[in-house]
Amino acid sequence: MKMPKNNHAIGLFDSGVGGLTVLKEVIRALPKENIVYFADTARIPYGEKSRETIIRFSIENTIFLLEQNIKMLVVPCNTATAHAIDKLHQIFNIPIIGVVEPGAKKAVSVTKNGRIAVLGTRGTIKSGIYQREIKKRLPEAEVIAISCPLFVPLVEERMLSHPVTKLVIQEYLTPLKKASVDTLLLGCTHYPLLRKAIQEFMGEDVTIVDSASTCAEEVLLTLSHEKLHCDGQNDPKHHYYVSDDPQKFQQLGSEFLESPLTSVSLKVD
């Protein structure tokens, strides 16, 4: 018997474990939904690759998730959202949510002095998407965008409060202290794990935000709007696919998600 569309999964893809920081909030907001998450671990990092390459990867990832019968797509990866979300909207006829708009919305709702810092990968910052999305909502905003390419490997190595990480934070973020920002947006899946160290460096007067919870709210609203909520009659299934090294993903992913990942398979082409 064919499964009714409402009970199909919400699909997510990221370059690796980072998107689990967003998935955690999606599960919190929608505990009954089935989930399929694809981590493109063979091709991480996305943050250093060209727009054309990221668009190609994003299309391939979406096709794979559609083959797993998803009813909507969430792109927790900031770099993929920055480069490819418009293209995905053009090509695929399902609800698609990225992380940039929710992040920009959140930052604008929090700032008091209009001076907002955005941190992201080289690709995300170079695309200018956060700068545009913030200014669209708050034209007088002053946006200071900084790429922090060393943050992703430091997080992957679990060096969350290591002295080297503190030095790197100091190196990247010192200009922000002089710029008197009152809001700092973490525009990359991995950066929420450095929140504590970044907060310590920036001080308590700076509010740190990310897109995870706002993105999850948007997923909930979209499911309601499209009348696509799961009927919740069975226990939700969460399945993970990776393009390389399921064991490493399972181990690191359980830490990112703060709950054990049980069902992880290798995607075979």
Question: Could you count the other beta carbons within 10 Å of the beta carbon of residue 19?
Answer: 29
189 part of the interface to ligand DGL, by CB under 6 A: yes
Q: What is the edge-to-edge ordering of all strands in the sheet holding 207-210?
A: 142-147, 115-120, 183-186, 207-210
Nearer to ligand DGL, 34 or 121 (CB): 121
With binding defined as CB under 6 A, does residue 83 bind ligand DGL? no
Q: Of 106, 105, 98, 142, whose CA–CA distance to 124 is shortest? A: 98
The catalytic residue among 77, 148, 215, 230 is: 77
Closest CB 13 distance from ligand DGL, rounded Å: 10
- By CB atoms closer than 10 A (0-12, 13-18, 19+), residue 1 is exposed
Is residue 242 at the binding interface for ligand DGL, with CB under 6 A as the rule? Answer: no
The contact pattern for ligand DGL, residues 124-143, with x = CB under 6 A and - = no contact, is x-------------------
Q: What are phi and psi of 242, to 5 degrees?
A: -130, 160
121 is a contact residue toward ligand DGL (CB under 6 A): yes
- Name beta bridge partners: 143: 116
77 has catalytic annotation: yes
Binding to ligand DGL in span 199-218, by CB under 6 A: none
Q: Residue 256: which H helix or E strand, with range?
A: helix 246-257
Q: How far is the CB of 202 from ligand DGL (least distance, A)?
A: 20
Q: Using alpha carbons, select from 140, 162, 143 the residue that is nearest to residue 151.
A: 162
Judged by CB under 6 A, does residue 47 bind ligand DGL? yes
Confirm or reject binding of residue 78 to ligand DGL (CB under 6 A).
yes
Q: In which element (H, E) is residue 266 found?
A: strand 264-266
Which among 20-28, 40-48, 56-64, 239-247 is the span making contact with ligand DGL, rule CB under 6 A? 40-48
Pick the stretch among 11-19, 159-167, 192-200, 214-222 that binds ligand DGL (CB under 6 A).
11-19
Q: Is 233 in a helix, a strand, or coil? A: coil
Active site residue 230: no
- Give the count of beta carbons closer than 10 Å to the beta carbon of residue 51: 15
Q: How far apart are the first and last CA of the chain?
A: 27
Told to check if 10 binds ligand DGL by CB under 6 A, we report no
Residue 255 is which amino acid?
A: E
Q: Measured from the CB atom, is 79 or 243 closer to ligand DGL?
A: 79
Which range in 59-67, 130-138, 185-193, 255-263 contacts ligand DGL by CB under 6 A? 185-193
Radius of gyration for the chain, computed over Cα atoms and rounded to the nearest angstrom: 18
Active centre residues (catalytic)? 77, 188
Residues that bind ligand DGL (CB under 6 A): 14-15, 18, 44-47, 77-79, 121, 124, 152, 188-190
